[in-house]
Structure 1
Amino acid sequence: METVRCGQCNKLLAVGEYTRLQIKCGRCRTLNDLRAPSPTPERQRASSTTGDRHDASERRKEPPGLAGGKEEVGRRDHPAHAG
């Protein structure tokens, strides 16, 4: 919760949350016009200056059996495909 004080005499005017508030001070009669601060946008992380984010060893590798474009036909561990 935020406290709202008069900009002229510093009297406590309100306690709470607001996006926009217009309130008149009962002591000095100053009209206080307040707006909630804008949220700060999230900052983007800086890119790495060392080059590629992933080196060649981290790139996706072909699973065994598919390397070179060859596929195994049938499953040898399944009775229907045992030969």
Structure 2
Amino acid sequence: MREIRCGACNRKLGEGDYSRLAIKCPRCKTMNFLRAERPEPAGRRASDSKEVSRDEGKAPTGEERIQIP
């Protein structure tokens, strides 16, 4: 399960798995719209090429945050 926090004040709003979620923060009243990212297609792998991506080794966030005050 993922921890869900307000994008404006960082208050913990809950935990859970979601594909799309809209939740209003009771502290700052910001509407938080969350959506799970789609996984990248398995077409080309970094190990197939001598080039190494700068993002390799970073953990994906798995979410996209949109804030509307």
Name the TM-score, length of structure 1 as normaliser: 0.51
CA offsets 1:48-69 (integer angstroms, 9 cap, x no match): xxxxxxxxxxxxxxxxxxxxxx
CA offsets 1:11-59 (integer angstroms, 9 cap, x no match): 001101000000000100000001001111112465xxxxxxxxxxxxx
Task: Compare the two structures and name the one with the higher strand fraction.
Answer: 2
1:48-67 matched pairs, under 5 angstroms? none
Q: In the comparison of the two structures, how many residue pairs are matched?
A: 46
Task: Compare the two structures and name the one with the higher helix fraction.
Answer: 1
**Which structure carries more relative contact order (alpha carbon 8 Å, separation 6+)?**
2
Give me the whole-angstrom Cα distance separating, in 2, the residues matched to 1:43 and 1:14: 35
Q: CA RMSD in A?
A: 1.4
Give me the whole-angstrom Cα distance separating, in 1, the residues matched to 2:13 and 2:30: 11
Q: Which aligned segments of 4 or more residues in structure 1 are displaced greater than 2 angstroms?
A: 43-46
Give me the whole-angstrom Cα distance separating, in 1, the residues matched to 2:25 and 2:7: 9
Name the TM-score, length of structure 2 as normaliser: 0.60
| % same residue | 52
**Given residue 9 of structure 2, which amino acid in structure 1 is its aligned partner?**
C
> Is residue 63 of structure 2 the alignment partner of residue 42 of structure 1?
no
Give me the whole-angstrom Cα distance separating, in 2, the residues matched to 1:31 and 1:14: 14
* 5+ residue gaps, structure 1: 47-83
* 5+ residue gaps, structure 2: 49-69
